[in-house]
């Protein structure tokens, strides 16, 4: 798309040509990309969730080196900072990488091994410094894989099927998160085996992915788009500069995602406290309710994400589907505001989860469609993915301030609803995506 065309809504039929090869994907190639995206998200998410949600918290309890909640919070907070920078840095580096294996493949493979090494350090350390250092390496390695892998949507997947592959990527994360929690729980009394499985899964994530995907074209002497590659220090530094031209829609998408992730995490990240301190449930009842909510949200998330992605491709619409998902999330969030009990939170899990499934299925495809430059897709998608990390970091700050000022959780819901709806407004202001 040219710069002139980018200022107007796209009325043309979405292209069925793969950007890197200049031809249509065969049925076999589509299957290989689809399976690769699913396994990529599924494998690393299973390993990551089993560790961060179950095995590492249990190990912190057994180590008796401090308050487990404080250790977990410290690990996650510092790890988020490393994730924040790693996504952009490795996205940008993958844009300018020249190798006979391609520009994305080396980072995806090496990232898996670095993640595995960090995980070994995190679970084998008996002191806070080693634990945090290991988890920071995990965040660096994971984002070394994620940034170039997501950029493959821009490099190699035709516009007319990006919604479907975005759904594969997002839906597999949902399944992987639940499967990781289950896996961790099975080895909570034999953590050595659980950690070993996690290390192995991290290590093979990149290898499995690139072996299943059709082989990436060499970038040793040219970029994926045919221009001569002459890398120097000036180009390297320039590759880290955020977009400054043809980028209005890019920043609208960034703000839309940031506000939605912020609003979503204000509720989903505090379900236990909301159930106990807002709904008045006992510890036992709140645990049972969360278990039920998890099952409800997982089912609706999988169903809606798998339907929404292909539907987006068929209708050739991204923006409106993301917006509809956001509005449904806001409706789900509003229910506990008027119904402060377990049923209200279960309805939030069902309705809000359905909206989030719609959103997550198409959001990544929308982000690819608003990129100012295909050749800087890795870096620019890394910047867009900052919204996830920043939203997750800001949510506890906002929630803490609300509880401190108001003395309760009641105001949480309308503020979260406003954040999500404001994010929807930003999405609807995008011009070059329908």
Could you tell me the CATH number of the domain that includes residue 261?
1.20.1250.20
pLDDT in tens, 363-421: 877 877 777 777 777 777 777 777 877 887 788 778 888 888 888 889 999 999 999 99
Q: Which domain holds residue 312?
A: 248-428
Residue 230 domain flag: no
Share of the chain above pLDDT 70, in %: 90
Mean pLDDT computed over 217-235: 56
Running DSSP on this structure, what letter comes out for residue 8? S
pTM of the model: 0.77
Contact 413, 331 (CB under 8 A): no
Q: Where are the beta strands (DSSP E) in 124-269?
A: none
What six digits make up the tokens of 413?
């819901």
- 192 and 266, same domain (yes or no): no
Nearest alpha-carbon partner for 98 in 232, 210, 197: 232
Segment 74-120, tens digit of pLDDT:
887 788 889 888 888 888 888 888 888 888 999 999 999 999 999 99
Q: Does the residue 72 lie in any domain?
A: yes
Could you tell me if residue 236 is inside a domain? no
Number of domains composing the chain: 2
Which one of 223, 239, 262 terminates a domain? 223
Distance CA 61, CA 240 (A): 41
Residue 238 domain flag = no
What is residue 110's predicted lDDT score, i.e. its pLDDT?
96
13 inside domain: no
> What is the rounded CA–CA span in Å between residue 58 and residue 157?
41
Residue with tokens 């997947």: 157
**Residue 63 reports pLDDT greater than 70:** yes
Amino acid 136: pLDDT: 94
Give the CA distances from residue 370 to residues 34, 70, 156, 433, in Å, rounded to whole numbers and listed in that order: 22, 39, 16, 7
- Do residues 296 and 393 make contact, with C-beta atoms less than 8 angstroms apart? no
285 touches 271 (CB < 8 A):
no
Task: Tally the residues of the chain.
Answer: 434
4 CB-contact burial (10 Å; exposed 0-12 / middle 13-18 / buried 19+): exposed
Statement to judge: residues 283 and 219 lie in one domain? no
Q: Are residues 128 and 274 in the same domain?
A: no
Distance CA 211, CA 180 (A): 23
Q: Are residues 211 and 255 in the same domain?
A: no
Q: Does 261 lie in the same domain as 210?
A: no
Residues 203 and 288 in one domain: no
Distance CA 342, CA 348 (A): 10
Same domain? 170 vs 268 = no
| Same domain, yes or no: 288 and 162 | no
Task: Give the up-direction half-sphere exposure of residue 153: CA atoms within 13 A in the CB hemisphere.
Answer: 32
**Minimal CA–CA distance to 270: which of 391, 423, 412?**
412
Q: Which of the residue ranges 40-44, 302-306, 353-357, 426-430 has the most confident prediction, judged by mean pLDDT?
A: 40-44
Q: What is the pLDDT of residue 340?
A: 92
Dihedral angle sign, alpha carbons of residues 217, 220, 224, 226: negative
CA R_g for the chain:
21
Same domain, 40 and 179: yes
Does residue 402 fall inside a structural domain?
yes
Contacts of 361 (CB under 8 A, 6+ apart): 163, 166, 167, 170, 171, 304, 305, 306, 307, 308, 309, 312, 321, 325
- Phi and psi, residue 215, nearest 5°: -60, 135
Same domain, 35 and 153: yes
Contact 181, 57 (CB under 8 A): no
Asked which of 223, 238, 259 is the last residue of a domain, the reply is 223
Higher pLDDT, 171 or 291: 171
Q: Does residue 330 lie in a domain region? A: yes
Answer yes or no: do 209 and 301 share one domain. Answer: no
Tell me whether residue 149 is in a domain: yes
The overall average pLDDT reported for the chain is 83
If asked whether residues 376 and 300 sit together in one domain, one would say yes
Last residue of a domain, one of 223, 240, 270: 223
The whole-angstrom separation of Cα 87 and Cα 322 is: 23
What the block records as the tokens of 333 is: 């969030």
Q: What pLDDT score does 4 carry?
A: 42
DSSP 9: -
Q: How far apart are CA 198 and CA 142, in angstroms?
A: 13
User: How much of the chain is helix, strand and coil, in % rounded to 5?
Assistant: 75, 0, 25
């Amino acid at each position: 798309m040219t710069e002139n065309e980018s200022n107007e809504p796209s009325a043309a039929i979405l292209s069925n040509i793969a950007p890197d090869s200049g031809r249509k994907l065969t049925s076999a190639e589509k299957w290989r990309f689809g399976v690769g995206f699913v396994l990529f998200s599924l494998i690393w998410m299973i390993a990551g969730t089993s560790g961060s949600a179950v095995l590492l918290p249990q190990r912190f309890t057994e180590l008796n080196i401090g308050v487990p909640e404080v250790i977990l919070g410290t690990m996650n907070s510092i790890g988020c900072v490393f994730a924040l920078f790693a996504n952009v840095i490795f996205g940008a580096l993958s844009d300018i990488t020249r190798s006979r294996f391609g520009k994305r493949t080396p980072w995806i493979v090496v990232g898996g091994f670095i993640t595995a090494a960090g995980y070994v350090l995190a679970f084998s350390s008996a002191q806070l410094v080693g634990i945090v250092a290991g988890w920071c390496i995990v965040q660096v390695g994971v984002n070394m894989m994620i940034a170039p892998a997501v950029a493959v949507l821009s490099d190699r997947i035709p516009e007319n099927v990006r919604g479907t592959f975005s759904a594969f990527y997002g839906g597999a994360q949902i399944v992987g998160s639940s499967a990781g929690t289950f896996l961790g729980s099975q080895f909570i009394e034999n953590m050595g085996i659980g950690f070993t499985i996690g290390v192995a899964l991290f290590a093979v994530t990149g290898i499995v992915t690139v072996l299943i995907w059709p082989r990436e074209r060499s970038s040793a002497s040219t970029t994926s788009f045919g221009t001569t590659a002459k890398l120097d220090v000036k180009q390297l530094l320039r590759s880290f500069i955020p977009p400054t031209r043809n980028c209005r829609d890019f920043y609208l998408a960034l703000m839309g995602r940031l506000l939605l992730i912020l609003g979503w995490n204000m509720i989903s990240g505090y379900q236990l406290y909301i159930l106990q301190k807002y709904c008045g449930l006992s510890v036992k009842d709140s645990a049972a309710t969360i278990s039920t909510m998890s099952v409800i949200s997982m089912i609706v998330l999988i169903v809606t994400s798998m339907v929404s992605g292909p539907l987006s491709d068929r209708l050739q619409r991204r923006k409106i589907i993301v917006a509809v998902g956001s509005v449904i999330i806001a409706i789900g969030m509003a229910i506990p505001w008027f119904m402060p009990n377990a049923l209200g939170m279960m309805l939030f899990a069902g309705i809000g989860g359905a909206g989030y499934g719609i959103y997550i299925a198409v959001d990544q495809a929308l982000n690819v469609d608003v990129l100012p430059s295909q050749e800087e897709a890795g870096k620019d998608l890394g910047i867009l993915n900052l919204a996830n990390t920043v939203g997750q970091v800001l949510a506890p700050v906002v929630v803490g301030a609300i509880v401190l000022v108001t003395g309760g959780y009641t105001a949480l819901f309308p503020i979260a609803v406003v954040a999500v709806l404001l994010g929807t407004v930003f999405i609807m202001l995008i011009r070059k995506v329908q």
